[in-house]
């Protein structure tokens, strides 16, 4: 053996992943990690159509959606950063899929 444990070998074959709340913060989609955790814990964010908790791992290609006041925001994860990105590089972590105006409920 080359000194690498069996459990560590499996992680080399896995695609890069990151916690949802940390990705939202590093990509600057949500300004604070604690706010991202709160939104996730209240069921406000879905990943690939499933309500996600803040600890869910996201990978490149995952679709993240959340509802804001009068719109639905959806982004696809483009890449997972290995180091903390700068302000200019944060937008390269995701691709905006669509932003729709939400329908107001009938009164």
pLDDT at residue 19, as a whole number: 93
Nearest Cα neighbor of 52 from 60, 40, 68, 63 is: 40
Task: Tell me the C-alpha distance between 22 and 54, whole Å.
Answer: 8
The ranges assigned to domains in the chain are 15-101
* Segment 49-106, tens digit of pLDDT: 999 999 999 999 999 998 877 888 899 999 998 889 998 899 999 998 865 544 344 4
Q: Give DSSP secondary structure letters for 20-47.
A: HHHHHHHTTSSS-HHHHHHHHHTT-EEE
Task: Tell me the C-alpha distance between 74 and 45, whole Å.
Answer: 10
Distances in whole angstroms, Cα of residue 89 to Cα of each of 14, 78, 81, 84:
24, 12, 10, 9
Q: Which CATH class is domain 15-101?
A: alpha beta
Nearest Cα neighbor of 75 from 30, 9, 106 is: 30
Lowest mean pLDDT among 10-14, 34-38, 83-87: 10-14
pTM: 0.76
Q: Give, for 51, the enclosing helix (H) or strand (E).
A: strand 50-51
DSSP reduced 3-state for 103: coil
């Amino acid at each position: 053996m080359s000194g690498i444990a069996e459990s560590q070998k499996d992680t080399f074959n896995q695609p890069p992943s990151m916690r949802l709340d940390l990705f939202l913060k590093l990509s600057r989609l949500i300004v604070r990690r604690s706010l991202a955790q709160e939104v996730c814990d209240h069921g406000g964010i879905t990943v690939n159509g499933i309500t996600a908790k803040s600890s869910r791992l996201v990978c490149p290609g995952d679709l993240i959606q959340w509802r804001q006041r009068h719109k639905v925001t959806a982004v696809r994860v483009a890449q997972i950063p290995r180091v903390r990105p700068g302000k200019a590089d944060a937008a390269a972590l995701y691709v905006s899929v669509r932003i729709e105006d939400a329908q107001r409920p009938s009164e």
